[in-house]
Amino acid sequence: MIELQRIIIRQGLCLRELLARMDEGSAEILLLVDEDGRLVRTITDGDLRRLLLAGVALEEVKLELPEKAPITALEGTDREQILDLMKQHDVNHIPVLDTARRPVKLVRARDLELPILLSTPHMGDQELSFINQAFDTNWIAPLGPNVDAFERELAEKVGVGHAAALSSGTAAIHLALILLGVEEGDKVFCSSLTFVASANPILYQKAMPVFIDSEPETWNMSPAALQRGLEKAARDGCLPKAVIVVNLYGQSSDFDPIVAICEKYNVPLIEDAAESLGASYKGQASGTFGKLGIYSFNGNKIITTSGGGMLVSDDAALIEKARFYATQARDPAPWYQHTSIGFNYRMSNVLAGIGRGQLRVLEDRVDQRRAVFERYSDSGMGGGGFSWMPEASFGRSTRWLSCGVFDTEGAVDAQRFIERMAEHRIEARRIWKPLHLQPLFAECEYFPHNENNSVSDQIFAHGICLPSGSNMTEREQERVIKTFNEIFAGF
């Protein structure tokens, strides 16, 4: 909110003083009032610029400004009416006056706009009916018909043998590690450029993460860095128990070389497809390339159950075992008997109902997110000074988040850019800070793309994610483009 006293002025100021006040007030407008504090007129920075261009001296007090009645609103006028006034008169500021015509506040267009968020839930038509079924049949439990059906339907959709619905994607990664026998002191390789949830479960098992850099073509795990890492681990006689490969922002990793390298060293692969449900690699669904794959249905994902995850595999025994661990590892005995450590990781039957409805609109959500990205990229945002995350020709990304990097030679600071977007009520975020740079993992080994080039460091330093929700209106997308370009031009 603009501090009114900084922009209210009285007669008798010279051009230099007006320019200084305009600069201080940082509102691109001054409010000229009479001796009783009543609004006489508004003075815009354009008015002052035109005086300068006309050669008016800086010390001149008698300024000839064009006659113009100020566009104002009375106290109590609602948001919609003020927005209409702004549109009608093509102005970005409206002074709000009391009944004596004294300014009480200045409203800017940007203060009235609703916030545009990065990625919000987008429900379809059928979620509620599946939830209602759960209520009608009293299946309000972490098991039930919706859970069974959601597992079956998701497995069918991605073309995998078996699936276990869980409380989160993180839980799915944790169980995947347990199923592969990861224990204290074991090594687990993991993509570095990702959300911390990809690697936290390695720590739950007291194992040691080793981080692998990205390649520039996909921003995903660099096969070259993976090869070097496994070569060294083999030489040292301590190969990892698993490799966690993350598919970033909706795009699949380059699995042909990654699978070949893992097979060469006989290390099982876990595919973290939390962000890439709906994407494909050479026609095969993302999430189905590893011994085990995981998805997340967190609120910000392409489809959501408000919170939830899925573990998938072609190995029926592994998934059966996952369900066992996810329900407190209860032995088949007539009483409560436990031999192994278990977890409370199952998905609720109510939330699985949301998942069933969401699964039916997955393709639409992919198309809608891709359309947001295309609108952005077709607009030429940032000219040559901003490059979008590349989409490799081997697959189809969902463009879960539209993201890109500012030119390393340019003047744009990613953090300041995001702060400026926030001033316009538009949420943008930094690219994940690579895990090898996190204090939590300071002791961990790291293999960059090549000896002198850490690709993920560069992407983090210069990258941002933009609002990408499948439910964004065209007007919201246009607002993002316009604001992005205005801020970009100001750097």
Q: Which residues bind ligand PLP (CB under 6 A)?
A: 168-170, 194-195, 197-198, 246, 272, 274-275, 296, 298, 309
User: What is the rounded CA–CA span in Å between residue 433 and residue 211?
Assistant: 13
User: What is the rounded CA–CA span in Å between residue 387 and residue 409?
Assistant: 13
From the list 140, 128, 155, 163, the residue with the least C-alpha distance to 348 is: 140
Judged by beta carbon, residue 399 or residue 479, the one nearer ligand PLP is 399
Cβ 469 to ligand PLP, closest distance in Å? 16
Angle 465-471-472 from CA coordinates, rounded to 5°: 60
DSSP codes of every residue in 380-431: TTTGGGEEEPP--TTEE---SSEEEEE-TTSS--HHHHHHHHHHTTB--EEP
In this structure, what DSSP letter does residue 275 have? T
Judged by beta carbon, residue 82 or residue 175, the one nearer ligand PLP is 175
Alpha helices (H) along 119-254: 127-136, 145-158, 169-179, 200-204, 223-236
Judged by beta carbon, residue 221 or residue 361, the one nearer ligand PLP is 221
User: What is the rounded CA–CA span in Å between residue 340 and residue 365?
Assistant: 40
Whether 411 and 382 have beta carbons less than 8 Å apart is answered as: no
User: What is the rounded CA–CA span in Å between residue 422 and residue 415?
Assistant: 11
Indicate the residue whose CB is closest to ligand PLP: 169
| Six-digit token string for 185 | 């002191």
Judged by beta carbon, residue 37 or residue 268, the one nearer ligand PLP is 268
User: What is the rounded CA–CA span in Å between residue 194 and residue 205?
Assistant: 19
Cβ 414 to ligand PLP, closest distance in Å? 19
Give me the count of residues in the chain: 491
Judged by beta carbon, residue 130 or residue 400, the one nearer ligand PLP is 400
Q: In the chain, what is the greatest distance between 2 CA atoms, to the nearest angstrom?
A: 97
Judged by beta carbon, residue 133 or residue 468, the one nearer ligand PLP is 468
Judged by beta carbon, residue 195 or residue 446, the one nearer ligand PLP is 195
Amino acid code (one letter) for 35: E
Judged by beta carbon, residue 33 or residue 190, the one nearer ligand PLP is 190
Cβ 295 to ligand PLP, closest distance in Å? 8
Amino acid code (one letter) for 391: E
Cβ 195 to ligand PLP, closest distance in Å? 4
Cβ 197 to ligand PLP, closest distance in Å? 3
Cβ 431 to ligand PLP, closest distance in Å? 12
Cβ 200 to ligand PLP, closest distance in Å? 9
Judged by beta carbon, residue 345 or residue 376, the one nearer ligand PLP is 345
Pair type for strands 269-272 and 292-296: parallel
Cβ 109 to ligand PLP, closest distance in Å? 34
Cβ 370 to ligand PLP, closest distance in Å? 19
User: What is the rounded CA–CA span in Å between residue 336 and residue 39?
Assistant: 78
User: What is the rounded CA–CA span in Å between residue 486 and residue 491?
Assistant: 9
Amino acid code (one letter) for 68: K
Judged by beta carbon, residue 197 or residue 418, the one nearer ligand PLP is 197
Q: Helix or strand or coil: residue 169?
A: helix
Neighbours of 98 (CB within 10 A): 13
Cβ 276 to ligand PLP, closest distance in Å? 9
Residues 6+ apart with CB under 8 A from 487: 417, 420, 421, 424
Judged by beta carbon, residue 25 or residue 293, the one nearer ligand PLP is 293
Cβ 454 to ligand PLP, closest distance in Å? 19
